[in-house]
Structure 1
Amino acid sequence: MTTHTTRRDTPTEHTTCVVVGGGPAGMVLGLLLARAGVRVTVLEKHADFLRDFRGDTVHPSTLGLLDDLGLFERFAAVPHSKIRGVRVPAGDGSQVTLVDFSRLPLRHPYIAMVPQWDFLDLLADAGREEPTFDLRMSHEVTALVRDGDRVAGVEYETPDGPGRLEADLVVACDGRWSVVRREIGLASREFGVGFDVWWFRVPTSRDLAESLLPRFSDGTALIAIPREGYTQVAYLGPKGTDAQLRARGIEAFRAEIARALPQLADDVDGIASMDDVKHLDVRVDRLRRWHAQGVLCIGDAAHAMSPVGGVGINLAVQDAVGAATLLAGPLRQAQKAGHARGIDDVLARVRRRRIVPTALIQGLQRAMHAGLIDRVLDGRLTGFPSAPPRLVQRLPALSVIPALVVGVGPRPERAPTWARRTTTPVAEGAGVGEGRTTPTT
């Protein structure tokens, strides 16, 4: 384990909880703990949230959470598109809605596609309304502070120099390449993945259906996601082939996309160069333990997810809600008493609460990898399997089952009572201003 020495002139501060990483899990956790009256500091290494293809899906369960937090009206004001289903080709040439979110008996039965930076900015603005919330951008955590065997804070770098923030609890929300996860050396279980994903945009003015469009043929797998003014495309290919893909050049790449997505054939020139095609190294793993003394990992820092189903953000947000629900009381007590006793006893409970949904979703993703994606990419399968569409054609109600798995997931979390703000229900499609938010008493 790495040993770090703090410079004598490094400024030192103290907070009750420091959250490392300002992604969806970190921002939701910070907001919820602040609403509980916990002093919480979120450290984000970047100067802003402006990064492409960082997971733009906001699932029905997360939309319900925003409603409970009194934030849905603000979210509805952000330009976004809606995914109401997943359509696949049937054997007779028609399209079948295999996954139908509109059948879910929920307030918001769809997946909202919104740039992640808009979602994070919304959470940041809500957090700043709480007196105990502190978000610090351009703060890159570089090491952990230790008090014997216990993690007691973090060291960080900023454009103005280094700093040290002591805390009763450190929560790692800094993703699959987590610095905190690496520093504490927790063992993980790795699951092999044979493919990677390349993300890109195809600008288009075409009016596309509010559905995901998977296309599988001739060793190619694509998923087209309708967005405002463009289509976001995930191109799936064998792991380790990024250099070969780029060596083929942009013309060959455009031609392949046009063949796979003929409805976008006239628009593929909008992919300016291979620099617009962003590579994602797909990993699936999970920690065997999510905590050590004084530190907890959640979200991708605890379990890297495949992009299949777009469920990684939803799972990370639900981790944050579950963790806040369990930790708010002990953190308030520690804050009042001036010591961290009692917090460590709760950390293992967070994993116990969230490990079953994590393992189930990863298991389903791995089954999709083996049964569909791997078979398409190695040529064993030349199109989408015909049995599921035929079954759903006969029994359309079955389309709600995968919608429930993807849109809600096992073990959904609800906002704790102390974090809620009552909101008059906003009808599906209602305009901004048709709901009213008041504090929960």
Structure 2
Amino acid sequence: MTPAPDSQPVVIVGAGPAGAALAMLLAERGVKVTLVEAARDFQRQFRGEGLMPSGLAALEAMGCGPLLARLPQRSLSAWSFHLHGRKLFRVEEPMEGQRPCTLISQPALLEALLERASRDSGFQWRQGLSVVDVIEAEGRVAGVVLSDGSRLAASLVVASDGRSSLVRQRSGLELERQNSPIDLLWFRLPSHPRFESDNAFTMLLGEDGAACSLFHGAQPGELQLGWVLSPGERFERSPQAWGEVFAAMAPDWLAYHLRQVAPAISAPLKLSVQVGCCRRWHRPGLLLLGDAAHPMSPIRAQGINMALRDAVVAANLLLAPLMAGDTAAVDTSLEQIQAERLPEIQRAQTLQQQEARQAQLLRRSPLLRRALVQLAPWLGERIGHSWRQRQIPLRQGLATVEITV
């Protein structure tokens, strides 16, 4: 679509899920958009892959169904919980409806969204340049300064530059942090044939309270493993030693595999978990979206799903005032975006906290773990049903999000 002559330029900082999706949606509807990304490619060590039904529905609402079908992906078949190497319960996918949780390569997704945005003449892509400051004029954010010294003027700046958002810091909007009891170590290792046919998200809890989860990601032949890192825990171990630690928590078939592939286990990547929400997501001329506004816990992969849903709502409310060149109406729409998105974000973070407390109780109570192991043959199915019911809101979303423009 050719940009309308009076449409006002938008600068989006950060080409993650929120930024890339919003850039595509606005550009396709005639808004002049410049998307700025500091990284030179999308291949960083860790990018979340877990798309819940809520995130898949958001992408389908954007018209990305055919696009999704072409991307590297793998659906989950179940969620399987093990205590001391014994199965506690298993819940099959899909839990409800027709959509299972699906692991999709995020770099491939971002590249596809960018390719679609690039078809429109009003879209500009500035890669490998970071934002170093914001431009202010008459009480409004009026653009950004890039690391090469260039200045981009804008009627609206959208900061989707992650949980450590520099734009947020430069603009004086504060993140109210919540306590997070964990950090994660992230590993990659060769897959087992069983995961090819039965890709169960497998959660392991050991006799000493150690915890990890593993699953087959979007890339072929590769397992991803997240180790829950307790405060102050040291993690200087060889790959062989890590293999032994993981195997000690696993059922026999998986323990054998983990010992066999131990030399090929990657060096761990530490992921510092940050959770919080800004009291205000906006100033005149500026909007925060995704992790810049509300960094999520990794529990049930809410970060990417909420970011995509943010982009849909932002596009709905921004399009008309941007096309009209009405800055006062743009600023009013920023308030409306936060008002519409905040209840779902707050509720999702509350549910994540509840899940974290359940997990912490199990990790800290040897007596409870031993009791569950002994009672699993009789109580496992009931515990699994209770767990399944708690997951449905985090999977389906807690608000209706649809494209209206």
- TM-score if structure 2 supplies the norm length? 0.88
In structure 1, the residue matched to 2:332 is 345
- Tell me which of 280, 292, 316 is aligned to 2:283: 292
Are 2:55 and 2:304, in contact at CA under 8 Å, matched by a contact in 1? no
Are 1:392 and 1:398, in contact at CA under 8 Å, matched by a contact in 2? no
- Tell me which of 348, 364, 376 is aligned to 2:351: 364
In structure 1, the residue matched to 2:292 is 301
Correspondence 1:223 to 2:210: no
Which consecutive residues of structure 1, in runs of 5 or more, have no partner in the other structure?
1-13, 419-441
How many angstroms apart in 2 are the aligned matches of 1:249 and 1:283?
27
1:245-256 alignment, distance < 5 Å:
245-246=235-236, 248-256=237-245
Correspondence 1:259 to 2:248: yes
Correspondence 1:36 to 2:24: no
How many angstroms apart in 2 are the aligned matches of 1:89 and 1:388?
10
How many angstroms apart in 1 are the aligned matches of 2:67 and 2:153?
34
1:201-220 alignment, distance < 5 Å:
201-208=188-195, 209-217=198-206, 218-220=208-210
Root mean square deviation, CA, Å: 2.8
Question: How many angstroms does 1:384 deviate by?
Answer: 9.8
Question: How many angstroms does 1:31 deviate by?
Answer: 1.0
Question: How many angstroms does 1:377 deviate by?
Answer: 5.5
With over 3 angstroms needed to count, the CA separation of the structure-2 counterparts of 1:199 and 1:269, relative to structure 1, is farther
Which consecutive residues of structure 2, in runs of 5 or more, have no partner in the other structure?
1-6
Correspondence 1:85 to 2:78: yes
In structure 2, the residue matched to 1:136 is 126
Give the match's secondary structure for 2:235.
Answer: helix
With over 3 angstroms needed to count, the CA separation of the structure-2 counterparts of 1:342 and 1:318, relative to structure 1, is same
Moved more, 277-286 or 201-210: 201-210
Amino acid at match of 2:271: L
How many angstroms apart in 2 are the aligned matches of 1:67 and 1:163?
36
Are 2:8 and 2:323, in contact at CA under 8 Å, matched by a contact in 1? no
Amino acid at match of 1:411: A
1:42-63 Cα deviation digits (max 9, x unpaired): 1110111111221111222222
Sequence identity (%): 28
Are 1:202 and 1:268, in contact at CA under 8 Å, matched by a contact in 2? no
What is the total number of aligned residue pairs between the two structures? 391
In structure 1, the residue matched to 2:164 is 177
- Tell me which of 94, 99, 103 is aligned to 1:113: 103
Amino acid at match of 2:337: V
Amino acid at match of 2:202: L
Question: How many angstroms does 1:200 deviate by?
Answer: 0.7
Give the match's secondary structure for 1:200.
Answer: strand
Are 2:189 and 2:266, in contact at CA under 8 Å, matched by a contact in 1? no
With over 3 angstroms needed to count, the CA separation of the structure-2 counterparts of 1:275 and 1:392, relative to structure 1, is closer
How many angstroms apart in 1 are the aligned matches of 2:392 and 2:312?
19
How many angstroms apart in 1 are the aligned matches of 2:238 and 2:83?
33
In structure 2, the residue matched to 1:354 is 341
Are 1:17 and 1:170, in contact at CA under 8 Å, matched by a contact in 2? yes
In structure 1, the residue matched to 2:3 is none
Give the match's secondary structure for 1:260.
Answer: coil
